[in-house]
Amino acid sequence: MSEREILELRAKVDFIDKEIVRHLNERARAVLEIKRLKQGDNVALYDPKREEQIMANAVANNEGPLYDDTIRELFQRIIHEIRSLESE
Amino acid sequence: MSEREILELRAKVDFIDKEIVRHLNERARAVLEIKRLKQGDNVALYDPKREEQIMANAVANNEGPLYDDTIRELFQRIIHEIRSLESE
Q: What is the DSSP letter of A42?
A: T
* Among B23, B38, B76, B36, residue whose Cα is nearest residue B54: B76
Q: Is B81 on the interface with A (CB under 8 A)?
A: yes
Cβ-based contacts of A26 with chain B (< 8 Å): 16
Report percent pLDDT > 90 for chain A: 81
Contact B24 A66 (CB under 8 A): yes
Question: pTM for this one?
Answer: 0.94
* Cβ-Cβ contacts under 8 Å for A82 (sequence gap 6 or more): A27, A28, A31, B66
- Give kind and range of the element (H or E) at residue A57: helix A48-60
Residue pLDDT, tens place only, B14-68? 999 999 999 999 999 999 999 999 988 888 888 889 999 999 999 999 999 999 9
Q: B41 and A3: CB-CB below 8 Å?
A: yes
Closest partner residue to B32 among A12, A24, A65, by Cβ?
A65
- Are the CB atoms for A23 and B62 separated by under 8 Å? no
